[in-house]
Amino acid sequence: MPDRDAVTSAASAARDQLPDLVGHLAFRLLYARAETFADALDDHPLSRPPTLLSAPDLHGSLREMLSVTGLLTVQDGELAFPHRTFMEYHAARHATRTREDRAWEIWHLLDSRWVRPPTWPFTRTTWSMCVVKVNLFPLFGFTACAP
């Protein structure tokens, strides 16, 4: 029989990691094309059960914790985000957790090679790739960044 304090401690640690877990699930479901909750959870640190619990018990506990947050609902027996916007928001938060992650995302978001030449009228043929790289990072407070 597991020690009550150990179980309480493990549950508290899991609860504290729920925001990260929600972001991880959103990112995996949106970008890694994970099919199910279990697939999306498999590489998160919370997916490794402590010695106190078996994996099915842990997944059930996490499912219960996540369903009461209101961020996830149960659809067809699986956890799901109630709206794609929620999933996109949490995936974006997860993808930009660190300064390096933010710099990488900004680099790709503001890739200056895709520009529109200043010609009028704008037609399909006026779109082109620019060969000159413009450094937009100082605008966002970054000093240097490599792709």
Tens-place pLDDT, residues 24-55: 888 888 887 777 777 777 777 776 666 656 66
pLDDT tops 80 at residue 20: yes
pLDDT tops 70 at residue 145: no
pLDDT tops 60 at residue 127: no
Q: Is residue 146 part of a domain?
A: no
CA angle 34, 37, 38 (to 5 degrees): 90
* Mean pLDDT comparison of 68-77, 96-105, 112-121, highest-scoring range: 96-105
Q: What pLDDT shows up at residue 50?
A: 60
Q: What is the mean pLDDT of the chain?
A: 73
Q: Is residue 48 part of a domain?
A: yes
The range of the structural domain enclosing residue 127 comes to 98-140
- Could you tell me the sign of the dihedral formed by the alpha carbons of 21, 22, 26, 29, in that order? positive
Q: Which amino acid is at 45?
A: P
Q: Is residue 145 part of a domain?
A: no
**83 and 14 within one domain:** yes
**61 and 108 within one domain:** no
